[in-house]
């Protein structure tokens, strides 16, 4: 016990200090735990920083960013989902999935009510109200949600995230269109025929049946899926670098939205979960997904339906920027 004698030697006539008493706890538990958290946070910053530097160095233009975004959306993300759902069937995973699907629906209902309530408090009208409510309801649960869950929880976490994101895929093409436009007819076809839902369906077939993918295809999906994390984070960095910080932070609506989406909503979800006895895995997925910044779809839908595209871009940029602080803090609490 060299450390004990080293510390007490400086004051041989005194009783062991509190520091010397707690030193084993610090060395054997707290420091290893913090090093794991710090490592995850630094990985997060390095990947986003890479995209930021690429944009500032003119190594990434709009064409490059759109190409990478499409590649992630249509290729690597579906590959990640299918690969992550390729588990042997178990009743535990099935029960967790059912719980997550139910609680996920409750979470989206909560976010919807929160968006309506604060849009009225802020007295928002017209396109500004539509964009605000859409951004409150839909977080970046795909581009950022999947990578962060895999980073924090692992491959099994992506399986549950895919189940949770069934809500996102269905609501985006139904309620999302209704919010952004005056259309009363909702698109049921697009709600189920999109890359996210198709990959989830394939994953569920593999989970519920004895079917197995050929080794070469399984390895190919795994390799493609692994590229989702760095590519998605790099795109997030490029988006941040494309916006002037001074411009995106202006406005009461911007600041209140970021506070609601990144801090207040996850805190309420966390407090609510303390009263329930849910599996830890389910709780982690719910908290992480509730803390995601505005979805990239916000600006896409705003432009598609001639809504406030400028505001949608500022909401995405500001919430993504602030999430660089809020998400690492949430990760530290989860660990």
Domain limits for position 170: 32-334
The DSSP bridge partners found for residue 139 are 294
Q: The domain spanning residue 150 has which CATH number?
A: 1.20.1530.20
- Max Cα separation, the chain? 82
Contact of 167 with 108, CB cutoff 8 Å: yes
In-domain check, residue 292: yes
**Residue 225 pLDDT:** 85
pLDDT digits (tens, 9 = 90+) for 62-101: 888 888 878 887 888 788 878 877 777 788 888 988 999 9
In-domain check, residue 10: no
Extract the residue ranges of the chain whose pLDDT is less than 50. Answer: 1-16, 18-19, 21-22, 25-26, 29-30, 33-34
- Nearest one of 81, 101, 86, 89 to 208, comparing CA atoms: 89
Number of domains the chain is built from: 1
pTM: 0.71
In-domain check, residue 324: yes
**Residue 185 pLDDT:** 55
In-domain check, residue 257: yes
Please list, in sequence order, all residues whose beta carbon lies within 8 angstroms of the beta carbon of residue 120, skipping any fewer than 6 positions away.
none
Contact of 218 with 85, CB cutoff 8 Å: no
Structure tokens that stand for 254 in this block: 């911007």
In-domain check, residue 311: yes
In-domain check, residue 27: no
Angle between helices 309-334 and 126-137 (to 10 degrees): 20
pLDDT digits (tens, 9 = 90+) for 265-294: 999 999 999 888 888 999 999 999 999 988
Write out the DSSP string of 138-183: -B-TTTTHHHHHHHHT-HHHHHHHHHHTHHHHHHHTTHHHHHHSS-
Quote the CA–CA distance of 279 and 238 in Å, as a whole number: 36
In-domain check, residue 54: yes
In-domain check, residue 17: no
């Amino acid at each position: 016990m060299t450390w004990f004698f080293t510390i007490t030697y400086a004051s041989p006539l005194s009783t062991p200090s509190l520091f010397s008493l707690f030193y084993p706890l610090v060395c054997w538990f707290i420091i290893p735990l913090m090093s794991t958290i710090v490592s995850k946070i630094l990985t997060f910053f390095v990947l986003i920083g890479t995209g930021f530097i690429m944009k500032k160095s003119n190594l990434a233009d709009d064409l490059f960013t759109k190409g990478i975004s499409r590649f992630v959306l249509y290729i690597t993300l579906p590959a990640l989902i299918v690969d992550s759902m390729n588990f042997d069937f178990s009743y535990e995973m099935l029960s967790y999935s059912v719980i997550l699907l139910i609680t996920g629906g409750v979470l989206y209902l909560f976010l919807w009510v929160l968006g309506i309530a604060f849009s009225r408090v802020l007295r928002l009208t017209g396109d500004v109200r539509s964009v605000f409510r859409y951004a409150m309801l839909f977080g970046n649960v795909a581009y950022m949600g999947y990578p962060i869950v895999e980073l924090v929880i692992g491959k099994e976490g992506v399986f549950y995230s895919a189940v949770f994101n069934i809500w996102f895929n269905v609501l985006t093409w139904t309620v999302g269109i209704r919010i952004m436009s005056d259309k009363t007819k909702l698109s049921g076809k697009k709600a189920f025929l999109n890359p996210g839902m198709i990959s989830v369906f394939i994953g569920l077939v593999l989970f519920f049946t004895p079917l197995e993918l050929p080794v070469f295809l399984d390895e190919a999906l795994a390799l493609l899926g692994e590229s989702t994390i760095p590519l998605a984070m790099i795109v997030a960095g490029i988006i941040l670098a494309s916006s002037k910080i001074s411009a995106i932070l202006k406005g009461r609506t911007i600041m209140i939205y970021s506070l609601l989406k990144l801090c207040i909503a996850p805190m309420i979800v966390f407090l609510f979960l303390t009263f329930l006895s849910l599996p830890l895995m389910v709780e982690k997925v719910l908290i992480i997904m509730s803390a995601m910044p505005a979805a990239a779809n916000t600006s896409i839908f705003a432009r598609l339906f001639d809504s406030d595209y400028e505001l949608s871009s500022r909401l995405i940029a500001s919430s993504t920027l602030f999430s660089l602080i809020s998400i690492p803090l949430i990760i530290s609490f989860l660990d």
